[in-house]
């Protein structure tokens, strides 16, 4: 079992309509993360949400590049970029959180991917791996130590966030049954290997319990 302490934080990554069935970039079975997230959220004194928040014509959209196909990879100034369907466009219903999520106790909503010319998978950095979102400073200033990740997608935004948490010195836990994956070109096996190499802990929601210190 993993005991949840008062300084732990649950980071719920991008549980938005466009990543759920019927959405523009639907993760298979994506809405199945909602129930386990709602079940474990009361264990945490601190909950934060991230929200993909792209402008129209974002550079990560295939439609922004003439002659390019969905899921093709291109080279941009900051590295390799997968071209996605247009998704989570600012102010559209697809960018809204799944209506059943209802985590009204969340203390922070962090929007990412709003810069037109750079994508942002991680909750901590843009895809140049250098431009910070400010989340690390927020956690540090509030004295929050371990980060537990859930949401969409396991092999992209959740995975990149967990790896960056470790890179910044935060213990990181990914709640596997509260995530779903895209699995594009072996991306699940790739992120699993990186987790193992960097010390990201992969746990189940059934492994979590409130620490006696929290009572």
Is-contact 58 64, C-beta < 8 A? yes
- Both tokens of 14, joined, read 């991008």
Out of 20, 157, 164, 192, pick the active-site residue: 157
Residue 138: exposed, middle, or buried by beta-carbon count in 10 A (0-12, 13-18, 19+)?
Answer: middle
Is 112 part of the annotated catalytic residue set? Answer: yes
Out of 20, 31, 112, 179, pick the active-site residue: 112
- Beta-strand ranges (E) seen in the chain are 2-4, 9-13, 47-52, 73-76, 79-82, 108-112, 147-152, 172-180, 201-203, 208-210
Is 31 part of the annotated catalytic residue set? Answer: no
DSSP secondary structure letter of residue 158:
I
The CA distance from 151 to 35, in Å, is 11
Out of 8, 14, 18, 52, pick the active-site residue: 14
Helix ranges, 63-170 (H): 135-141, 159-167
* Residues whose CB is less than 8 angstroms from the CB of residue 44 and which lie 6 or more positions away in sequence, other chains included: 4, 8, 9, 10, 148
Which residues form the catalytic set?
14, 112, 157
């Amino acid at each position: 079992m993993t005991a949840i302490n008062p300084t732990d934080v649950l980071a719920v990554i991008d549980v938005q309509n466009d990543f759920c069935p019927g959405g523009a970039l639907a993760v298979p079975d994506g809405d199945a993360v909602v129930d386990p997230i709602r079940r474990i959220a009361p264990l945490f004194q601190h909950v934060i949400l991230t929200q993909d928040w792209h402008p129209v014509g974002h550079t990560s959209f295939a439609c922004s590049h003439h002659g390019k196909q969905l899921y093709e990879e291109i080279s941009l100034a900051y590295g390799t970029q997968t071209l996605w369907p247009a998704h989570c466009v600012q102010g559209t219903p697809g960018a809204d959180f799944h209506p059943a999520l209802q985590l009204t106790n969340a203390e922070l909503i962090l929007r990412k991917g709003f810069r037109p010319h750079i994508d942002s998978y991680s909750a901590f950095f843009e895809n140049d791996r250098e431009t910070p979102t400010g989340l690390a400073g927020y956690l540090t200033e509030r004295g929050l130590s371990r980060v537990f990740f859930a949401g969409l997608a396991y092999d992209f935004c959740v995975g990149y966030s967990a790896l960056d948490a470790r890179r910044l010195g935060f213990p990181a836990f990914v709640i596997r049954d509260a995530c779903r994956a895209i699995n594009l070109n072996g991306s699940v096996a790739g992120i699993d290997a990186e987790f193992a190499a960097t010390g990201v802990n992969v746990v189940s929601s059934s492994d979590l319990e409130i620490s006696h210190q929290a009572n």
